Structures are given as C-alpha cells and as structure tokens.
Chain A
Amino acid sequence: MTSTPVNSYRTLPDQDGHFGNYGGRFVAETLMPLILELEQAWKDAKNDPEFQKELDYYLKYYVGRPSPLYFAERLTDHFGGAKIYFKRDELNHTGAHKINNCIGQILLAKRMGKTRIIAETGAGQHGVATATVCARFGLPCTVYMGAKDIKRQSPNVFRMRLLGAEVKPVSSGSRSLKDAMNEALRDWVTNVEDTFYIIGTAAGPHPYPEMVRDFQCVIGNEAKQQILEAEGRLPDMLIAAIGGGSNAIGLFHPFLDDKDVAITGVEAAGHGVHTGKHAASLTAGAPGVLHGNRTYLLMDDDGQIKEADSISAGLDYPGIGPEHAWLKDIGRVDYVSITDREALDAFKLCSELEGIIPALEPSHALAHVAKVAPKMSPDQIIIVNVCGRGDKDIFTVAEALGVEL
C-alpha cells in the first residue's frame, strides 16, 4: 500500500494554488479565464502518458538530458572538506536549466492550440531557451527584456534575434526583470486569445509555480538517482542559487522529504544586504503581492516595490517563487545570501580549478559552497546546481574585474 506521508513537504500547492500563506492567483480579470483553462490543460497533460512521452523525448534528444552529476575533484581538494558534486545543467542545449521548463510549456501551448509565445527574461537565458523552442516548434516569439539587461547581456540578445525572436526593450521602472514581467503581462492581457505566456521561473499566478517546478524537477530526480549510483547514498547538502527560484526548486523538491538532506538556497546580496542594494527578498524582504502571487518582496512601508540589485541579471528580481517563501517559513530550507564580490571570486575559482566557466547565477551557489565545504568532513557530500554556463557573462565579469575586451 502506498500513501503520501502525512508530514510530506511535497503535497502543495492546494487547489487554489496556495503554499501555506503564499501563491494564489492575483491577476487581472481579463486573464482569469485563460489561467483557469491553463490549469485544466496542465492537469490533463500531467496525467497523459503521451504528453510525458513527448516531453521525455525532447528532453533526451533535444535538450541532451540527463545532465551529468560530476565530481568536482580539484575544488573538493582545494577546500579540503566535503565532496563536491556539480549537477551540470549548464551542459543543456542553450546552456542553462531554463530549457527544461520551456520544452514543457511549449508542448502545452501547442496542446492548447495557442499560436503565439511571449516571455520575460532577465539574464537572457530564459529568453534564449524560449526563442529556441519557438524556432523548433515554429511559433512566433516576443521576449520582453529590461533595457538595463539588454545592455549587460548583449550576447544573449543577439542569440535570441538569430533564433527569430523579437526582443522588446522595456524602459519602464528599474528597466530589469520585474519590469520585463510587467510588460509581458500587459502584452498577455492584450493578446489573451492566441498567446501563451511562458513564464521562466517558479513564480506568477497558479498554476505557474507548480507547473514550472514540476518541469524543473527533472534536475532533482536525476541527481537523486545519480548520487545513489555514484555514492550509494543521498547527499548531506544541496545548494542552489535563487532569483525566482526555478533551478533551486527543481533540485530541492525531490529531496524535501529526505530529512537528512540539508538544503540551502542562495540569494543575491548585491553590494551587501546592509547597503540596501541587493536582491535578497527572503533575507531582507516581507510578504506582499506582486505578479500574480503572494510571496516575499523587497518593498517600502507603503507597499511600493523596490528595485533589486545584483551583478547577476538572472537574480536581479525583488521577489521569489511562493514555494520558497513557504519553505523558508516552515524552516525546511535555509536561505542565505552572497555578494557580487563573493560570486565573482567563486566564478574565477571554478573556472581555474575545474575548467568550467559557470554563469554568475550559480557562482552565487558556488560561493556558498566555498563557505561551508571546508567546515564539513571528507565523508560528507554536497551537490551544487551549476544551472548555467558563464559565456554570456564574460563582458560583465570583465568590466567588474577592470579588464577591457
């Protein structure tokens, strides 16, 4: 007989999309019928073996899954503590974990008969992944991107355009990810009949946080099997970077009920949480409502949203997926923060010792590894999600290091 354990951390959201106090469906009425239709389509697809088969096919032959679980031997020796494994989602087609979700959502969009795709992007990884699947499946694609991010992530902008996507610069507000999301929502509300919005992170109105998580859980499911094969046991700790939180929830979720696995999410502390210039909404924010869900947000005492700040465009968002908000409150996951400086150091160290140039987003996770691994014993195991590769970041890093390219 099988049943879900009563104290499982894996049963949410409830039918209204709530993770405890978080989540929900805080959207304009124009979108509600579509949101409800999407929820139903997602429920049907999830239980349809044909959909799963199609998804598995593309994940294997197009994305290149499973991604390896790699023993980072030199980094392990360098820190002289816990054994460090990399979950190498940077090896996916397009160079990040984002495509796991994009493949899933575009298959759903086709199933729903939608003929046009929109997306928001911060670092450009989600935009590239969306443009990629749109090219593959022959759907027109519009990507909203903050004007500030277009400047600092120009290689990805060019990539999206090569893939046939229209990249629309967003000059309102802080000109970064949150404003790109506002603009995508404005497009969606205008073109609600034919358009599917591929949200890139495990946030937004229900069912997105659940749906994106489920598409990203391939990371954790693989990692679990792979570590059992490599070590014959589960890891002692999981570490992943968090902007909206999709790569992290994808790695974490399959391990939530494994009580002996400690789990840590790493937010971007920007110039330092004390400076006010950061993106650490769980560390320094409070619950509020934005972009379709209740979650931790950076805001002032009037409920006005503050601008986030991080060297990593992918973490530069003043909110966080609602499931992370819940996991923080109940204490199942620890959330810490890492500054731009610490992330840059980890970026260099990983490049030099492992021959892997990580994106600035997982560089935050690697920087936390640098803090905890030396204090752990050599028979302990850490899995860190290297969720994206750093090619897109070389200009930003060069500028931060004072190097002219």
Chain B
Amino acid sequence: MTDTIIGGQTRITRRFDKLRAEGRAGLVTFITAGDPDPETSFEILKQLPAAGADVIELGMPFTDPMADGPAIQEASNRALAAGMHMRKTLSLVRGFRDQDHDTPIILMGYYNPIYIYGVEAFLEDARNAGVDGLIVVDLPPEEDAELCVPTVNKGLSFIRLTTPTSDDKRLPKLVKNTSGFVYYVSVAGVTGAGSASNAQIVEAMSRLRRHTDLPIAVGFGIKNADQAADVAKQADAAVVGSAIVSKIAESLDENGKATDKTASMVTDLVRELADGVRNARK
C-alpha cells in the first residue's frame, strides 16, 4: 500500500521539514537504476539511507541522455547492457519501499521511456511502487500537459530543473505546477562538468527565493565533501550524481562487472558527502 501522502503531507515535504528541524541541509544522491547490474544496484540503493542519503534520485536508463556528461551516459549504458528497463526500475523502487518508508525516491530521466510505457499506466505503477516524484529533463513547462499536470493530479511531485538561464521573467513559469522541491542546476552544462562558485550560488539562491518557498536543492559539479559542504551552507540540499556513479565505474573488474567493493565504495563516498553536508552549518 502506498503511503506517499500522509495527512496531506508527502514524503518529500516531511523529509525537508525534518531537515529544517535538525537545522541542516540534506544530501540528495543519484544513482542509475540497474547500474552496473540490477542486483548490485538494488544492494546499493538499500544501503544509501544508512550511509547518509536524505533523498534518493534514481535514474531511469536511456540510450540518448543528451543533458548528461560521460559518467551518467556510461551508467545508463551499463544498466541497459545489463538488461535494465522501466518495469525493473519500478520493481527496484518497490523492493526498496518494503524496507524503507521514509526516504523519498525521485525518478529522474528522459521522457521517451515514460511516453512509450504510457503516461497513465506509468504514473499508476510508479505511485504504487512508492515513487514520490519525477524529474524529467526534456519536459520544460511549455510541455506541461504531457506529464507534469497528470503527475501532479496523481499526487506525485513534479520537480523542476531551474538553471543559470532561468531569469526573473522565466522563473514564475518554472515554479508553477511544481512541488516537493526545486532543483537548481548550478552551471549551464551537462552533468558532471564544472561547478559554480559560492558567489554564483548565493546570487542564484536569492533569485529563486523571490519566486518560491519550496526547498531548493543544488546540484551539478559537486564531487567531494568540501564542495557538498559549501553548497549545504546556502541551499536546502546538495545533489551528487556523477561522482557517485564514477565510483561504481571505478569499482568494476576488467570485464565491467561488479566486484565485492562496488557497494562499499559507493557508500563510503556517500558517508563522506553526508558528513560534509551535516557539519556544514556547525
């Protein structure tokens, strides 16, 4: 049974309320579902909350991830080569929900696999699996009728990406129909590339705060605990993706298969990142 919404609150809002009460920012971790194979991916997923992940973004593999850099492209390729597909991604979430009722899971990816699954069927199955929200890179507000509006109607959050190109004119359009939190992509570029300066993030935060009261998670280019801590001083959460999936790549054997170090290398990094985030405001 789904418990996405309890007492009018979603798992995402409850998590951000808790973080606020603790006086700290959150850590949002990204992995690609099925990377490097469905079983290892499930092992990693299950261990993320204990390692310090406050929110989990789970990538839906796609052949043509045109807003992602090499690290996440390769993660997608590894997952697809290991036979991952949308139904398996949803069952990964279902398996996770059997043991964790509180950590929000956001599915992140591109529209085509959802479109081909069928929007209504996908939303129904995603909600039943225990998904809390969606981030779909290639659906700007101009295409809200496709998926954003049906998602919100289904009681799930549609989390929008805001970027350095989102000015005061554009932002009202972006925060409309959105819920859960707002994702600020701190650099114009693909995932895993350069990072923004503190001053740029401070400026962006104040611009975003003029338009929304939702929590703001900042991502793109955060590779280590220090960078995560810097972001956690300004934002409500720091998002780390490419650095984590790069650890998966690093842990593989010469045939590209998982080793007994794969899960621990990921959780070690997540633990470091979480320390950085948790101690940032002390």
Contact = CB atoms under 8 A, between A and B. Distances in A.
Contacts of A31: 165
Contacts of B15: none
B119 to A, nearest CB: 12
B64 A32 contact: no
A302 B138 contact: no
A40 interface: no
Count chain A CB atoms within 10 A of each CB in B65, B116, B143, B160 and give the residue with the most.
B116
B143 to A, nearest CB: 6
A79 B143 CA distance: 50
Contact of A189 (B139, B160, B189): B189
A30 B66 contact: no
A172 B138 contact: no
B30 interface: no
A305 B69 contact: no
A3 interface: no
Given A27-B140, A29-B174, A30-B165, A186 B188 contact: no
Contacts of A303: 62, 86, 112-117
A190 B116 contact: no
Interface string A287-325: 011111000010101111100000000000000000000
Contacts of A289: 110-112, 115, 138
Contacts of B113: 302-304
Q: Which of B143, B161, B165, B167 gathers the greatest number of chain A CB atoms within 10 Å?
A: B165
A26 B67 contact: no
Interface string B17-57: 00000000000000000000000000000000000000000
B157 interface: no
Contacts, number: 116
Contacts of A16: 142
A227 to B, nearest CB: 40
A146 to B, nearest CB: 13
A173 B174 contact: no
Interface in B95-117: 110-117
Interface in B55-85: 61-70, 73, 80, 85
A116 to B, nearest CB: 14
- Tell which of B64, B85, B114, B167 has the most Cβ of chain A within 10 Å: B64
Given A29-B174, A30-B165, A186-B66, A304 B80 contact: yes
A284 interface: no
A196 to B, nearest CB: 15
B64 A173 contact: yes
A33 B190 contact: no
Given A26-B143, A33-B165, A303-B117, A189 B73 contact: no
Contact of B160 (A27, A29, A173, A292): A29
Contact of A304 (B62, B67, B138, B163): B62
A190 B112 contact: no
Interface in B109-154: 110-117, 137-140, 142-143
B251 interface: no
Given A190-B189, A299-B112, A302-B116, A185 B174 contact: no
A27 B163 CA distance: 13
Given A26-B138, A190-B188, A288 B112 contact: yes
A318 to B, nearest CB: 9
B155 interface: no
A172 B114 CA distance: 23
Contacts of B137: 28
A190 B194 CA distance: 10
Nearest to B190: A186
Interface residues of B, number: 43
B116 A30 contact: no
Contacts of B163: 28-30
A24 interface: yes
A81 to B, nearest CB: 43
A258 interface: no
Interface in B171-202: 174, 185, 188-190, 193
A33 B66 contact: no
B210 interface: no
A173 B76 CA distance: 11
B262 to A, nearest CB: 23
A28 B116 contact: no
A178 interface: yes
B147 to A, nearest CB: 10
B140 to A, nearest CB: 5
Given A186-B190, A302-B116, A304-B80, A30 B185 contact: yes
B161 A28 contact: yes
A173 to B, nearest CB: 7
A31 B115 CA distance: 22
B111 A26 contact: yes
B164 interface: yes
A25 interface: yes
A178 B62 CA distance: 14
Contacts of B10: none
B162 interface: yes
A25 B114 contact: no
Given A189-B67, A288-B112, 11 more contacts: A28-B140, A33-B166, A33-B167, A181-B66, A186-B68, A190-B190, A192-B165, A299-B112, A302-B113, A303-B115, A304-B63
Interface of A: 16, 24-34, 172-173, 178-179, 181-182, 185-186, 189-193, 288-292, 297, 299, 301-305
28 contacts: A26-B140, A27-B138, A28-B67, A28-B137, A28-B140, A29-B140, A29-B163, A29-B165, A29-B166, A30-B161, A30-B188, A32-B140, A33-B166, A33-B167, A172-B70, A173-B63, A178-B64, A182-B65, A182-B66, A186-B66, A189-B190, A191-B188, A289-B110, A290-B64, A297-B112, A302-B86, A304-B85, A304-B113
Interface of B: 61-70, 73, 80, 85-86, 110-117, 137-140, 142-143, 160-167, 170, 174, 185, 188-190, 193
